[in-house]
Amino acid sequence: MKTFSLIYILLPVIISSCDFLKVKDDSVPKQDNLRLPIARVHDNYLYASEISGIVSANTTPEDSASLMSAYMNNWIRKQLLIDEASVKIDFDEDEIQRKILDYRYSLIAYEYKSYYINQHLNKQVSEEEIQQYYEQNQDNFPLKQNIIRGKFIRVPKDAPNTIKIKTLIYSTRENQMEELRAYCFSYALMYSLEDSAWINFDDIIKNTPLAEIPNKVDYLKRTKYTESSDTGSKYYLLIKEYKKTDDIAPMEVVRDQIIDIIINKRKVELARNLEKEVYDKAVETKSFEIY
């Protein structure tokens, strides 16, 4: 296609340095350089001035060339589609222009709201706020998977002294807990000993004989401790507590989600307050009229 040939013929001229808008001959006026066409679709031209600022100054020449090529190819595809649409559809130009203006105003308003929110947003969320939101909205946090709090250890079948794992895994004494940590650090292929944290049950039993359990909810109801093995490993699982799918998620599990919700609510409130503040000020100063 001649259009694409034009792009690659002109690319070396446009990207002769990290600055895509310079040419080697400094005697050429800058304005003339900016009006240099770099792509064409029918009677529509893409000029260097229209791509100013697309590539940052610290971008490598290779990345710059790639970005510029991608931008021009995208422009060409859009122009071809626009030209095709203009032939096939009778557009209401006034309606198109109105939509363009609406979009422009919306974009400007959005950018200003984003700026205002970034300047005024308080991202600190207290534990009291998290707890209060959780208590008032628990029904909004059903679990999507079975979760447990407990301990899980996988060791090679030939690991030494595995008989003491059962004793240590039940213990709450600090010295025995530390002994279990040391044992796992030395011999375990995989382990999770933080029984205060909730973990996905399916993630824990993945690639173990327990993954073949037909009814996991029933298993969780009747199981506190289990040992199993396969050809290469032994598995030890202690379940202190469980929650099944569709139960209300513990607050610890949805804590980060609640923080995001609270912060997003603050963003919405800031945007609403900004609109009201601007409008009230305009009313007070009689900055607008309706005829």
Q: In the prediction, which pLDDT does 26 show? A: 45
pLDDT at 23: 36
Pairing outcome for strands 147-156 and 233-243: antiparallel
Mean pLDDT value of segment 62-66: 86
Task: Give the domain extent around 23.
Answer: 2-90
For residue 36, give every residue at least 6 positions away whose Cβ sits within 8 Å of its Cβ, in sequence order, or none: 10, 13, 14, 23, 47, 48
Backbone Cα Rg of the chain: 32
Q: Which two tokens stand for residue 123?
A: 């991202």
Q: Of 229, 150, 147, 235, which is closest to residue 190 (Cα–Cα)?
A: 235
Distance separating alpha carbons of residues 235 and 208, to the nearest angstrom: 8
Q: Is residue 21 part of a domain?
A: yes
For residues 133 and 290, what is the distance between their CA atoms, to the nearest angstrom? 43
Judge if 132 and 260 occupy the same domain. yes
Summarised one tens digit per residue, pLDDT across range 274-289 is 999 999 999 999 998 8
Mean pLDDT of 18-37: 50
Is 104 within the bounds of a domain? no
Structure tokens at 203: 């993630």
CB-CB contact of 283 with 178 (8 Å) = no
Q: What is the per-residue pLDDT across 131-190, written as a single tens digit (0 to 9) for each? A: 999 999 999 999 999 999 999 999 999 999 999 998 999 999 999 999 999 999 999 999
Residues 180 and 255 in one domain: no
232 and 263 assigned to the same domain? no
- Using the CB atoms, write b or e for 232-242: b if 16+ within 10 Å: ebbbbbbbeeb
**What is the reported pLDDT for 53?**
76
Helix axis angle for 2-14 and 61-88, nearest 10°, is 150
Quick one: pLDDT band at residue 80, thresholds 50, 70, 90? very high
What is the predicted pLDDT for the residue at 103? 95
pLDDT band at 61 (very low <50, low <70, confident <90, very high): confident
pLDDT of 50: 83
Q: Is residue 258 part of a domain?
A: yes
Q: Is 251 helix (H, G, I), strand (E, B) or coil?
A: helix
* 119 in a structural domain: no
Judgement on whether residues 256 and 131 belong to the same structural domain of the protein: yes
**Looking at the structure, do residues 81 and 162 belong to the same domain, yes or no?**
no
Model confidence over 100-131: pLDDT tens digits? 999 999 999 999 999 999 999 999 999 999 99
- Count up the domains in the chain and report the number: 3
* Contact partners, residue 237, CB within 8 Å, separation at least 6: 150, 151, 152, 153, 204, 205, 210, 223, 225, 226, 227, 228
Q: Which of 243, 260, 275 is the last residue of a domain?
A: 243
Residue type, 14: I
In whole angstroms, what is the distance from residue 7 CA to residue 79 CA? 15
Q: Are residues 133 and 216 in the same domain?
A: no
Residue 24's pLDDT band (boundaries 50, 70, 90)? very low
Q: State the average pLDDT over residues 63-91.
A: 90
In 3D space, the residue among 191, 143, 148, 141 whose CA is nearest the CA of residue 169 turns out to be: 191
pLDDT tier, 28 (very low <50, low <70, confident <90, very high otherwise): very low
> How far are the Cα atoms of 66, 146, 272 from residue 54, in angstroms, in the given order?
12, 48, 33
Domain CATH for 158: 3.10.50
Which pLDDT score, from 0 to 100, does residue 181 have? Answer: 96
| pLDDT band, very low/low/confident/very high, at 25 (cuts 50, 70, 90) | very low
